[in-house]
């Protein structure tokens, strides 16, 4: 009897220890906002009011699971599974990939990793592109309001089908399939990352049925210590069916916290943009753009140069922010070009650590200001994390 009690006690103690070494966390975010946009004269000049999920101008509603297991000797095994959905309709928001994969259950992230404080982390699976991480550093609210440069504007008119024709401020292919990433330990504030993703021989059935999806390659270096945060990345698609490399994206971003205010700046140079348009990362195709100068007419977009500057001022539970973004689009040889700018202001108010009210507004200028639906935008929203 005593032996049985001892055995049960030992087994119970072991089970308690094992459960303490492994954890599963359920988390999520619901983000909705009312957005009113007024188009320029070339797309009708009409006003449109919509209730949109944050995926339109924000972090995007999602739910996910984080799993972590302590393997001992400082080594951990981790899993992240994250599913995006539109809280305005309940629909999945990463439904179809450029490879024709429909109805992604975990379209935002899905990876497994081994992590060590001294050796770094190795991740396998669907992950955020490295230039997307850099874009989050260059403005006051990250990629969460109309202040962001990462959400493309509509160039096709006011009806939903026409507004699917998009033009980016900053190129941003948020996620990459079949990715392998290494993240180094942090040394004196510095951290390095590298990612590669093979096409695995699959055809791009969306844009070019007989072509092979490009292989994605990227590197990133960041420095974060005290009040300063700096990051730089270089991403490219190496096409498997066309000689040469296409869709090259250089991203640089920084911010500095003075306490009473934080200042932001960023720069992006995107070259050799193809009709596929960073397809492996999911960026909309880069088609023709039409500048305001009618004598120039439409031209294929081959290069993008852009910068952003901003400031954030915390006042109690409120943070005020303002940014200005300017982008120049040009063709091969830079013989034709057009520019587009956006000035935006916003504010967030924390009702709690997990619940935020926000409002923002933007107005466009430059050659293309009358060729976009978002010549003027006003946004009011509520975001709840759990």
Asked, for residue 11, whether it belongs to a domain, the answer is no
Asked, for residue 262, whether it belongs to a domain, the answer is yes
- Exposed/middle/buried for residue 193 (C-beta within 10 Å: 0-12, 13-18, 19+): buried
What is d(CA 33, CA 368) in angstroms, rounded to the nearest whole number? 26
Asked, for residue 9, whether it belongs to a domain, the answer is no
What is d(CA 363, CA 354) in angstroms, rounded to the nearest whole number? 29
What is d(CA 264, CA 140) in angstroms, rounded to the nearest whole number? 7
Q: Which residue has the tokens 């954890």?
A: 23
pLDDT tens-digit readout, 292-318: 433 334 556 778 899 999 999 999 999
Q: Which residues of the chain have pLDDT under 70?
A: 1-20, 95-103, 156-165, 199-214, 239-245, 274-300
pLDDT value at position 6? 44
Please give the C-alpha separations between residue 246 and each of 68, 169, 283, in angstroms, as whole numbers. Answer: 37, 19, 13
Q: Which of 362, 328, 273, 337 is nearest to 38 (CA)?
A: 362
Domain membership of residue 103 as a residue range: 22-385
Please answer whether residues 222 and 102 qualify as being in contact, where contact means their C-beta atoms are separated by less than 8 angstroms: no
What is d(CA 56, CA 52) in angstroms, rounded to the nearest whole number? 7
Asked, for residue 326, whether it belongs to a domain, the answer is yes
Q: Which residue has the tokens 């200028």?
A: 365
Asked, for residue 5, whether it belongs to a domain, the answer is no
The per-residue DSSP string of 107-158 comes to -SEEEEEEEETTTEEEEEEEEE-HHHHHHTTSSTTSSSSTT-SSSPEE-S-S
pLDDT value at position 294? 33
pTM for this one? 0.83
- CA 1 from chain centre, in angstroms, equals 61
Asked, for residue 17, whether it belongs to a domain, the answer is no
Q: Which residue has the tokens 């000049």?
A: 45
The CATH number given to whatever domain includes residue 41 is 2.40.160.10
Q: For the chain, how many structural domains are there in total? A: 1
Q: Which of 306, 233, 307, 305 is nearest to 264 (CA)?
A: 307
Please answer whether residues 25 and 66 qualify as being in contact, where contact means their C-beta atoms are separated by less than 8 angstroms: yes
**Sequence-ordered alpha helix ranges (H) in the chain:** 2-21, 130-135
pLDDT value at position 287? 43
Q: Which residue has the tokens 């949109």?
A: 52
Asked, for residue 352, whether it belongs to a domain, the answer is yes
202: phi then psi, degrees, rounded to nearest 5: -85, 145
pLDDT value at position 76? 97
Distance from the first to the final alpha carbon of the chain: 47
What is d(CA 333, CA 301) in angstroms, rounded to the nearest whole number? 11
pLDDT value at position 167? 77
Asked, for residue 373, whether it belongs to a domain, the answer is yes
């Amino acid at each position: 009897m005593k032996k049985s009690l001892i055995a049960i006690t030992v087994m119970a103690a072991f089970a308690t220890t094992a459960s303490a070494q492994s954890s599963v966390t359920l988390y999520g975010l619901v983000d909705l906002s009312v957005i009113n946009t007024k188009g320029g004269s070339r797309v009708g000049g009409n006003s449109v009011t919509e209730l949109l999920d944050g995926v339109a101008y924000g972090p995007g509603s999602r739910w996910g699971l984080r799993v972590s297991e302590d393997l001992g000797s400082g080594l951990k095994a981790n899993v992240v599974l994250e599913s995006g959905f539109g809280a305005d309709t309940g629909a999945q928001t990463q439904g179809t990939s450029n490879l024709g994969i429909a109805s992604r259950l975990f379209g935002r992230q899905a990876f497994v990793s081994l992590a060590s404080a001294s050796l770094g982390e190795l991740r396998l699976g669907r992950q955020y592109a490295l230039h997307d991480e850099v874009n989050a550093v260059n403005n006051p609210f990250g990629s969460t309001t109309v202040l962001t440069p990462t959400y493309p504007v509509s160039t096709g008119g006011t009806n939903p089908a026409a507004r699917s024709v998009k033009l980016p401020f900053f190129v941003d292919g948020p996620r990459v399939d079949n990715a392998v990433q290494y993240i180094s330990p942090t040394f004196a504030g510095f951290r390095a990352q590298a990612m590669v993703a093979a096409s695995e021989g699959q055809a791009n059935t969306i844009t070019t049925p007989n072509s092979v999806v490009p292989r994605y390659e990227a590197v990133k270096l960041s420095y974060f210590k005290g009040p300063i945060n700096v990051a730089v990345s270089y991403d490219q698609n190496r096409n498997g069916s066309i000689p040469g490399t296409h869709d090259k994206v250089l991203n640089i971003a920084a911010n500095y916290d003075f306490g009473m205010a934080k200042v932001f700046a960023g720069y992006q140079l995107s070259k050799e943009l193809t009709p596929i348009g960073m397809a492996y990362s999911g960026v909309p195709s880069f088609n023709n753009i039409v500048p305001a100068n009618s004598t120039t007419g439409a031209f294929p977009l081959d290069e993008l140069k852009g910068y952003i500057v901003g400031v954030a001022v915390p006042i109690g539970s409120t943070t005020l922010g303002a940014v200005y973004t300017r982008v120049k689009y040009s063709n091969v040889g830079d013989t034709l070009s057009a520019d587009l700018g956006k000035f935006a202001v916003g504010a967030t108010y924390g009702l709690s650590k997990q619940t935020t009210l926000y409002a923002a507004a933007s107005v466009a200028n430059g050659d293309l200001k009358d060729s976009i639906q978002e010549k003027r935008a006003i946004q009011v929203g509520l975001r709840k994390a759990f």
